[in-house]
Structure formats: structure tokens, C-alpha cells
């Protein structure tokens, strides 16, 4: 009975792992399909993504950590990038700081500070 339960658990873990890989791959594909401005996004390697998603997920509780995103460029470029990140579902437009002019002519800066869970 114990052997049957252990093999059932292992089978469930394998199915869950495959499903998770499929979901991660689908999310990445959908994000890149929706992306209109690809110039600032590096290309990705599908094999590297599958390897990364097949790594065991630690059971530890994630710790919150602050990350700061900074966009610097022309008003058009910064606002366009903020809109693209919003369309991808990464951040709401209102989460970004107001555009602040820099010492360089025609250049602005906007900052987004987020708290993410790090494993």
C-alpha cells in the first residue's frame, strides 16, 4: 500500500511538473506575441527556458525583496515602454513615477519600485 501511494505521488508530481512547464512556456509565448516593440527585449532560448522550468522548485517560503526599474529616454520612448509593460500585464501605468526631466536635453526618467518574492 505504501509503495502504491509513493508511486502515485511521484506520478502526480511528474504530471504537475509537465503542466507547469507547459503553462510557463505558453505564458512566455503569449507575452512575445503581444509584444509590439521588441527592440528592448532580448531574444530567448526555448531550450534554456525548458531547462530552467524543469529545475526543482524549492519548498522554502519566498522572501520579499525590493526591485527598482528605471527608464531613461525621450518622453515618447519612456511612455511607450511603460504602455508595453502595462499591455504585457507587468505593471499598471499609474505604478510608475511621473516623468522627471534629467540634466540631458529632451530626456526624462521614470521609476517603478516593486516588491517581489525571491526564493
Pairing of β 63-73 and β 100-101: unpaired
Same domain? 47 vs 91: no
**Amino acid 37: pLDDT:** 46
Given 16, 31, 57, the domain boundary residue is 57
Domain containing residue 116: 62-119
Helices (H), the chain: 2-34, 46-53, 75-87
CA-closest candidate to residue 112, choices 104, 63, 99: 99
State CA 12 to chain mean position distance.
Answer: 27
Number of structural domains in the chain: 2
Asked if 74 contacts 108 with a C-beta cutoff of 8 angstroms, the reply is yes
Helix/strand/coil percent split, the chain, to 5? 50, 20, 30
Q: What is the pLDDT of residues 34-71, one digit of tens each?
A: 544 444 545 555 565 566 556 666 666 778 899 999 99
Say what the pTM is: 0.48
Amino acid at each position: 500500500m505504501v509503495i502504491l501511494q509513493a508511486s502515485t505521488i511521484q506520478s502526480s508530481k511528474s504530471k504537475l511538473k509537465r503542466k507547469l512547464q507547459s503553462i510557463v512556456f505558453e505564458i512566455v509565448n503569449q507575452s512575445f506575441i503581444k509584444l509590439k516593440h521588441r527592440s528592448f527585449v532580448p531574444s530567448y532560448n526555448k531550450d534554456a527556458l525548458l531547462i530552467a522550468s524543469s529545475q526543482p522548485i524549492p519548498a522554502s517560503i519566498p522572501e520579499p525583496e525590493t526591485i527598482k526599474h528605471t527608464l531613461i529616454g525621450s518622453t515618447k520612448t519612456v511612455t511607450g515602454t511603460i504602455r508595453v509593460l502595462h499591455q504585457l500585464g507587468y505593471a499598471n501605468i499609474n505604478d510608475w513615477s511621473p516623468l522627471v526631466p534629467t540634466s540631458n536635453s529632451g530626456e526624462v526618467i521614470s521609476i517603478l519600485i516593486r516588491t517581489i518574492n525571491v526564493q
